[in-house]
């Protein structure tokens, strides 16, 4: 006696998709939408600017 399509569909809907951590495959399903998004070139520019400020302060205010 074949299973009805509704039973198969319900079974598929109930099944959770879990990460396969035992095989070394891990999926991260949580997406946090509230984070600040900054492009990589902005981070690099800020790091270079910060470095230049530190070097200039080192010359202007010797210890």
User: Taken in order 46, 50, 51, 53, is the CA torsion positive or negative?
Assistant: positive
pLDDT value for 53 = 97
pLDDT for position 45? 98
User: What is the rounded CA–CA span in Å between residue 14 and residue 7?
Assistant: 11
Whole-prediction pTM: 0.45
| Bridge partner list, 25 | 20
pLDDT of residue 19: 53
What does the pLDDT read at residue 58? 92
Question: So what's the pLDDT on residue 63?
Answer: 75
| Burial category of 10 from C-beta neighbours within 10 Å (exposed 0-12, middle 13-18, buried 19 and up) | exposed
Flag residues of the chain having pLDDT under 50. none
């Amino acid at each position: 006696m074949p299973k009805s399509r509704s039973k198969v569909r319900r079974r598929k809907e109930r099944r959770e998709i879990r990460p396969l951590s035992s095989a070394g495959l891990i999926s991260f399903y949580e997406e946090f939408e509230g984070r600040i998004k900054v492009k990589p070139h902005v981070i690099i520019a800020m790091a270079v600017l910060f470095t230049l400020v530190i070097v200039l302060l080192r010359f202007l205010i010797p210890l």
